[in-house]
Structure 1
Amino acid sequence: MISNAINQTIDVALGERSYPVWIGRGLLDDTSRWRAALRGRHVLVLSNRTVAPLYLERVTRGLDGLHWSSFLLDDGEAHKSFANVGLALDALASLGATRDACVIALGGGVVGDLAGFTAACWMRGIDFIQMPTTLLAMVDSSVGGKTGVNLPAGKNLAGAFHQPRAVIADIGTLDSLPDREYRAGIAEIIKGAAIGDPDFFAWLEQHAKALTARDEVALVHAIAAKVRYKAGVVARDETEQGERALLNLGHTFGHALETAGRYTTLLHGEGVAIGMLLAARLSERLGMSAPADTTRLEQLLKAVGLPTTVPPGSDPQQLLALMRLDKKNTAGTLRLILWRGIGRAEIVAGVNEADVLAVLKEAATEKGP
């Protein structure tokens, strides 16, 4: 059963590199909590032009007495690029940042990924702190130390594992989050349950209405459950040699859809939602899972307002070609995360491309709502 506490702390246990994930309301203003994670005199706050006007001043009030500056991206996945990493590194250079400097990531997944990669590159690795302002970033990308940037050939093909010093998930920032982005974050919550927690999946089915209505108790329950699950996986398999790969359920399909749309058609969580459903259909086609599990997943995704059909005009052959570039593939064969039903995901190597293509072709003929 999930705790009813509004404010929660979850530890990501990685020995000397362990760090807390703080979840609650008003945490950006709780400088006595997060200021202690800053070890040096230099701080670069990396954000975007949508988030900064809302929250940057609140964060920088906590940097009194330090040398700090800010670097702002344009909003959107298309700006998670090497060009912006270079500009962020230039900002650190202009600040005179030393090896005990810190980068603060104030924003969603794009900001967090690029800030973490920048921190990993500066002087071969400096501290960074995650201050996620989207639901998706709170429950997924801010936890676990995956950082990276996109290439024209595919999403997150360049990156590094670089753990943050702390994660400050202030749910108050979700008050300004548009409904579409909020729902995209719910996709990552559903993903965690679909991978390894059938009881939590059932809880989500029962509380879908409360969660989409942003009920605070239900929201914190869901965030904490997903973070706690991911923290355990990361502690056991930090660099994705085995179990952590399961967290990519739906991502191979989803990343292909995002890339095909040049990162402008689908939000990441929307791609994950569609990708999970395609993975479930492929699992069903391969005789791994029952149709009832696919139906439950589709119904839950629809209940929280997530898309379940591929964008109009999607080219199955193009999507398959993009899937071949996925980082999980080995020896030139597809290696996908599939399932044997809700809560029982597994890594499947050597997946027959003909089966994948058949699922993609069937999906391409479906009509959206």
Structure 2
Amino acid sequence: MNSPDLLDNLLAESGASAYVIYASSESPDMRYLTGFSVTDPVLYIRKAGKEGLLILPQMEVERGKKEAKCPVICRGDAGFFRHFEEKKDPKDANAAMIAEIAGGEIIVPDEFPLSLARKLEDYCKVSLGRPAVAEMRAVKREDEIKNIRHTQKTTEEAIDYAAGIIRNAVSDNGELYYNDNPLTSDYLRGEIHCYLMRRGFEARETIVACGKETSMPHNTGSSILVENEPILIDLFPRDTKTGYYADMSRTFVRGEPDRELVRMYNAVKEAWILGKKKVRSGISGSEIHNAIVTYFKSQGYESGNEGFTHSLGHGVGLAVHEMPPVSPTDAVLKTGNVVTIEPGLYYNDIGGVRIEDIGMVCENSFDCFTDYPAELIL
């Protein structure tokens, strides 16, 4: 499903000789192009019409040859130490090595280190290119779909684990306690993270917000969880082995929500169903997003400072937010995109509600990966 020639097209359009990345595997582009996981930044050089080359320290070469999906050489064979003997400066030696291998003008991504780019300019022309690798990453291969589905399954299990803790907590004057501890946002977030870590996943900035905290969509939460108020959980873990994310949100109430919160929840749930029904190849993200804006307006909910305050969704893969957006922009969805659908409503005096699923764009439908109910009351 991918377009493997997008980098070649970029080089041909610009007249450049090579595309260069200097990053660790925390960079989704580096992880995508090499399939290699490494903590420290390393070099990837792809010349027009050729396979990319991964240049590693000697200590990483044997592992790289086993794990990377592109040719690997050590820095010594790439000429680093020869240049270092002359330059006496690591950045300068790296720049001379890159320029020698590239053999002409270089295209780099936005996140390329400025200090290294300045050194490279002593040897060759350096230009920023359009996000070609991000465009490649937006349309997923079958193995990527499998990896995201695997992460999503574990995400659902973690959400269900958290829901069970809330459900089984003891109430003391409306405040929830679990194992004789106050059931705070931090406590439940820690339980979720430990659950995921034991299964080979990591999560950061997980949202476990309660009450008025839920009126701010990305408030991670800090208070004790209480009965009769919304509890919003937004979980987006990454598989530490493959690097692929998933993303999921649910809103719960332990007890009896007030009438207005129930009405909000029902509106969000209908918007969530509508959004998923509208997903197909060839539709723009703005058309889906605006349909939700129109639906909310018909139910008396605005879109702006309160109400529906964010985009309907976004791409997910080696980054939790990547192309394409499902937003007021005119990005067109393609078969093989993996996106979220996550309508929400947020009011300072009531709180917030969000429901989020993830799935793949198909020719005429949305292949939803999420298999978990959307029910408000625990």
TM-score (norm: length of structure 2): 0.24
Q: Greater relative contact order (Cα 8 A, min sep 6): structure 1 or 2? A: 1
Of Structure 1 and Structure 2, the greater helix share is in: 1
Larger radius of gyration: 2
TM-score (norm: length of structure 1): 0.24
